Amino acid sequence: MLLPEKDPKATHIMIATGTRVALYRGYLRRMFMENVPSKTLGGLAWLFFRRKIEECNDEIFKPLDNGAHVYFCGIIGMMPGIQDTLKRVAEERGKSWDLKLSQLRKNKKWHIEVY
């Protein structure tokens, strides 16, 4: 996964499928602790675990509605359950997940790295 180049102040929502937290630790370090000469990063970053999607749905969906990037990393077998949960939560909020997902992909704000 790469940091968004065009918007250094972008909000990042990172969802771990249960593993691969080390990748996000490196990502956060790069964003906020390293002095990267070619980039000044100043956006917000949130890390959630798969099981907290429903509980933290405001913290996930409000930034998504405002243009945040969303990242998934971990075991590929967990993605269908995550997508089902996101769809269910979106529908409970009166939104179409299929439309939201389409917009995220079109705007290159949907990032997946699963194994």
pLDDT tens digits for 46-87?
888 888 888 999 999 999 999 999 999 888 888 898 999 999
How far is the C-alpha of 59 from the C-alpha of 41, rounded, in Å?
21
Is the pTM for the entire model greater than 0.75?
Answer: yes
Higher-confidence residue of 27 and 91: namely 91
19-23, 36-40, 46-50, 73-77: segment of lowest average pLDDT: 36-40
Q: How many domains in the chain?
A: 1
Query: Which residue segment(s) compose the domain that 55 sits in?
Result: 12-114
User: Residue 16, SS3?
Assistant: strand
In a domain, 5, yes or no: no
How far is the C-alpha of 79 from the C-alpha of 111, rounded, in Å?
12
pLDDT at residue 20 in the model? 65
In a domain, 107, yes or no: yes
Average pLDDT, the chain: 85
Q: How far is CA 31 from the centre of its chain?
A: 15
DSSP-derived pairing of the beta strands 110-114 and 69-74: parallel
